Structure 1
Amino acid sequence: MKTVGLIVEYNPLHNGHMFHFRESKRVAEADAAICVMSGHFLQRGEPAVVNKWARAEMALHMGADVVLELPVAFAPQPAEWFAYGAVSALEATGVVDSLIFGSESGSLAWLDALAAQMADESGGFRALLRERLKSGAPYPAAYSEAVARHVGGVDAEELAKPNNTLGLHYLIALRRLHSGIRPFTIARQKAGYNQAHIDDEHIASATAIRRLLFEERRLEAVRPYVPQATYDVLRREWEAGRAPLSWDSFAKPLLHALLSRSAAELAELCEVGEGLEHRIKTALPRLAPDEPLPVEQLLGELKTKRYTRTKLQRMLLRILLGHRKRQLTPELLRQGVPYLRVLGFSEKGRELLKTMKKTAKVPVLTKVTSASLAPGNQILLQMDIDATSVYALGYPNATSHDLFRDYYEPPVRLD
């Protein structure tokens, strides 16, 4: 069974994702598809608009056969570690033949040639990167400019486009893992990444769809841009009070985490560095208590040319989740995912999972038990369990079942 791997977030799944999915299976000539999907919290440091099981269900209705969770240790990371964790999961299945990703350029050749030169980063490149960062450039721009100077003949602006950057890191990860998975890329169509405006009758970016959800506060507004199954799942979650979630759904627990820690304690957490702990403490008293959207206020107070919104969101998320630097070291992350957590599967996916039980390089988890928390899995899996509990705090009426849903919820199944 030829199987294509996709790395996704589906926040929420929309018509553009449907196009990409169908094209991916066609290009790869695949019989089945495995999606590695971020859980409750996403690569740009944002909470998902709906929980991971709901988004896995959307993917299965679209045609995915197995949905695996990308652990929260890897999901809200810069491109390098996000890509490495996701590719390590696809490689660990032992059944994925190809990886297909979207890109702005739609061309694999230049990205793959660049990946061959960047897979083993030299001290010279790191020095160039540090130089650009010291000049005040945000990390994405600094990385692209350093690559262009280090390699030569690279268009830094083209490389800095978000999906091109992610694509490069997928290709680097494949090389670092010595993977036999074959990569392909498909050009993004119509709506661009993070494009907030809508100029098509049926295609809109996830950013634009989320804006409709939060500004219009009407689910009907997104109906032209999402598959019927996505709409039905969103409606169910909305009516149950579990959607849509945004950063300000977590304002109280986040402010508690910020106020109850000293600057020194904040500095021990992931993504907090270069004096940001002091900047946070200075910004907190400036928040207007009578104004709505306190997290948006805080992000506005913290943002500078150097610190992008994405960087700051990732920092606030790690503070919210209490992830310490000593827990998520580069040495730990280089080991890749220590387990494959199954969020959902189709009937064909059931056959894939049977095969994966034999071929997978790490344990395949269809439920969380005390045995799942074995020493090799413990740190990262406990982080995923805790992330579910924190995510449920965004619900207006969270139950104990919501808080500890990882222990109760079986994979979503579509027969």
Structure 2
Amino acid sequence: MSPSPQRLVRPLAGALAAAMLLATTACGFGPPDADATIDAPALPVPTATPPDDDPAASVLARGLEVPWGVAFLPDGAAVVTERDTRRILRVGPDSDAGGPVVRPVQTITEADAGGEGGLLGIAVSPRYADDKKIFIYYTTARDNRIAQLTLGQRPTPIVTGIPISGVHNGGRLAFGPDGHLYASTGDAGRTGLSQDLNSLGGKILRMTPLGQPAPGNPFPGKLIWSYGHRNVQGLAWDAGKRLYATEFGQNTWDEINRIDKGGNYGWPIVEGTGTDSRYINPLVTWTTDEASCSGAAIVGSTIFAACLRGRRLWAVDLTPDGDVFGAPRPMLVEGYGRLRAAVRAPDGSLWVTTSNHDGRGTPAPDDDRILRLVPAGGGGVGRS
């Protein structure tokens, strides 16, 4: 469909100064299992106050409804999913309007919005100039699934049967530096699925663009790349091609993990840092009140985690070997409410979406928004 452009942009200027007090609830549901191991988080620990180099954020788009996934086309424009409306939006320059605009380009009627489900992740084919393929992750009445489509046409499912629930649907999609498609799935509120290698729930999946297990996957004939996850919603790679993931804990610890091929990350046996060598410990943990991070992006040598309940953006510096350097730094603390997606734009800036219309926030008149930041010290990326 080709609706008229909707003007939703202001110039990329300085930071908004207004702070908002938001009422939110946790993503955790119920107490930990009786046999869960919950230990204190490993160092480094978060800093207590925002740093002086908190980057200026400019509002790139406003008036959206739960923008969930962001990916970029070869021309620099972004495609953005809205979870509840099930729309795909194009955010980019328009020669007639004289500046960036937001334009709805398609509604995925096959998606079924409800709870934490709906139209979730989106990824653009690395060969988009030739194949024009977009990949989406969405909820139906029966399952979560991954599909490919050409914009304006009906999606063709390539993976079905991902467990569904009102919570913990996972949903992030991203192409890795190896050219394969990665997807994060949740445990759908059934904790046993995360350790079950016959289930797609509670996993990070790795596949070809046709939805087949990618060559080199650790479990022959399976899509699974790693397991023992509760609800991963952020995926990002560093310059060394190492994969990192943000993960929602239950009531105590949220995590950033460095993902190893075939790794078991412990859920539901362990939440946070444990002592059992069978399970891989996180690089960083936070309390759920200051985290519940959904999106992840790496700019330079820093991983940024966009957090919902914590209403902030965490910046975590990485060493050349992929470890954490120094203490994580909180940014944008409560300045924009709940933060959902984080993605590195082609120009090296960081795009972050708010999620104040998701039923757990208090929307401001401008919500929901797409923010643009140029982090100081982000691997040589300076302020704009």
TM-score under structure 1 normalisation? 0.26
Instruction: From the two aligned structures, give the one with the greater strand fraction.
Output: 2
Greater Rg by CA: 1
Instruction: From the two aligned structures, give the one with the greater helix fraction.
Output: 1
TM-score under structure 2 normalisation? 0.27
